[in-house]
Structure 1
Amino acid sequence: MSAVIFSLARRSLSEGWLMRPGRSRPPSLSVKRATGYAGRSTTIAMSESSDSAVPAFWNQRYACGETPWTLHAIPATLRSFVKRTRARGRVLIPGCGTDHEVLRFLQSAGFEVTAIDFSAVAVTQINEALGNFDGKIIHGNFFKFDFPNRFDVIYERTFLCALHPRRWPQYAKRTAQLLRPRGKLVGVFFYGIEPDPPPYPLSKTGAAEIFGKYFRLIRDVKVSDSVAMFAGMERWQEWQLRSGATQKRIKSC
């Protein structure tokens, strides 16, 4: 999944996240043709944007296929979670990117799937990959979109770690607002040391401070099937919403 809707430092991921040893710089892109849902061609203007807080930056990466964070598989820890979870319900995937395999998997497991991304190119690509899909794919801002319902589960992967740490408290509050009582924030979280962020890694102390107000950690296991850029630095975690943590009406942050 891509990470979206955030205030990252004004620098290019191609100099940090996307540029790892042995990886060439993504090619420049001025204009990209993308196919719409019904086979219509749409021209999407691209710039050499280095501001990863704007959709154009991510549009360019998806159009170029420069998405090394995409797993192209179902994480084993997600499969385990679904197997252990008897109840089904609504699940939200923020910053879904083009991770259509996960959306299809969750739907086939019986969940009512909603996903959101602010990259128009990513949303177009994931809709094309999914084809006939009963879930909802939203082109919008996770922090501002007016979701009509709360969710039983929010699935995290590569969204939080692209947010500047100053946005993390807002992320925790927003996820708590969007969950039903005793709902869960689950997924793959990035921990460790990153000398040239983004991605921005969590620490155990930091995670407890950020999420502890709203959630309690009920599961924490090492991830063994990370993509190369995250190898050895990911953990599957399940954070359950505390009783009475947020009873306020859903609203944008």
Structure 2
Amino acid sequence: MNSSLLDGNYWDDRYKNKETGWDIGYASPAIVSYTEESIAKNARILIPGCGNAHEAKALLDKGFSQITLLDIAPSLVEKVSEEFAVSPDVQVICQDFFQHQGQYDYIIEQTFFCALHPSLRTSYVRQMLTLLKPHGILIGLLFKREFAQQGPPFGGNQEEYQQLFQSEFDILQLIDSSNSIPQRQGNELFIELQKKAAV
């Protein structure tokens, strides 16, 4: 699919029609485990392509206090905004990821990268660098498989991701996920990528 067609209207229609096969209905165990063990509760966290924001709900329950949610689908953002209306620790924004401005300690990747056309992957890396503070970290899950149908989702492999990220990030982890959900077991890589220090 042409990258220009994957716009807010496209994703809004997917949510309105409940065509959300990527939504597992709860926060990814791999992401929840990492956040509990490695992220300070006052860290500034961005979740782009937040969808129904299951990860944000889990973070909020665990006491995290600076969470920004970003999605391009207007009706979805309206729904999520209502759900978090009484939560001052969560900000919900309807915006294209590539237009977003801010500075974050951590960015959480959960089925956002795979929703973008592969032609946008270099731009994804550049925008992540812009949004992360010095030594900031991008963590989450990427698919370790290709898909038979035309995407989204769009897949990939470990070697491809290594090439994509290694010039701008220190790759702390790019490994098989040990606690993926059952239906994705063996098909996901866990990433922990730290923005390189400016030379």
Aligned pairs (5 A) from 1:144-155: 144-145=99-100, 147=101, 149-155=102-108
Q: Distance in 2 between matches of 1:214 and 1:158?
A: 21
3-state SS in 2 of match to 1:232: coil
Aligned: 1:222 with 2:177: yes
Q: Write the mapping of 1:131-142 to structure 2, written as runs, cut at 5 A.
A: 131-134=85-88, 135-142=90-97
| 1:9 to 2:5 alignment | no
In structure 2, what residue type is equivalent to 1:97? G
Specify the code of the residue in structure 2 equivalent to 1:98.
N
- Residue in 2 aligned with 1:235? 189
The aligned counterpart of 1:93 is 47
CA contact (8 A) 1:191 1:233 kept: yes
Q: CA deviation at 1:128?
A: 2.7
Query: What root-mean-square deviation, in Å, do the aligned CA atoms of Structure 1 and Structure 2 show?
Result: 2.0
Identity %: 25
- Tell me which residue corresponds to 1:210: 164
Unaligned runs of 5+ in 1: 1-7, 11-50, 246-253
Identify the residue that residue 114 of structure 2 maps to in structure 1: 161
Task: Give the equivalent residue in structure 2 for 1:105.
Answer: 58
State whether residues 224 and 232 of structure 1, in contact with CA within 8 Å, keep that contact through their aligned partners in structure 2. Answer: no
- Written as runs of structure 1 = structure 2, the 5 A alignment for 1:1-253 is 8-9=1-2, 52-87=5-40, 88-99=42-53, 101-107=54-60, 108-134=62-88, 135-145=90-100, 147=101, 149-198=102-151, 199-219=153-173, 220-226=175-181, 228=183, 230-244=184-198
2:98 aligned counterpart, secondary structure: coil
CA distance in 2: counterparts of 1:98 and 1:139, whole angstroms: 13
* Stretch deviating more after TM superposition (73-82 or 113-122): 73-82
Q: Distance in 2 between matches of 1:104 and 1:188?
A: 18
5+ residue gaps, structure 2: none
Shift of 1:227: 7.0
- Deviation digits for residues 105-134 of structure 1, max 9, x if unmatched? 223432400111110011012123334122
Conserved? CA contact 1:226–1:234, under 8 Å: no
Change (3 A) 1:61 1:86: closer
**Bigger proportion of residues as helix:** 2
Kept in 2, the 8 Å contact 1:74–1:102? The answer is yes
Amino acid at match of 2:154: Y
Give the Cα–Cα distance (whole angstroms) in 2 for the partners of residues 104 and 239 of structure 1.
23
The residue identity in structure 2 corresponding to 1:188 is L
Residues 53 and 86 of structure 1: is their aligned pair in 2 closer, same or farther, counting only changes over 3 Å?
Answer: closer
Taking structure 1 as the reference length, the TM-score comes to 0.70
The one-letter amino acid paired with 2:162 is A
Cα distance change, pair 223–62 in 1 and its aligned pair in 2 (3 A)? farther
Distance in 2 between the 1:53 and 1:202 partners? 18
User: Aligned partners of 1:242, 1:192: CA distance in 2, in Å?
Assistant: 27
- Change in Cα spacing, 1:223 to 1:125, as seen in structure 2 (3 Å) is farther
- Seen in structure 2, the aligned counterparts of structure 1 residues 169 and 227 have a Cα distance that, compared at 3 Å, is farther
Q: How many residue pairs are counted as aligned between the two chains?
A: 194
What is the identity, as a one-letter code, of the residue corresponding to 2:189?
A: R
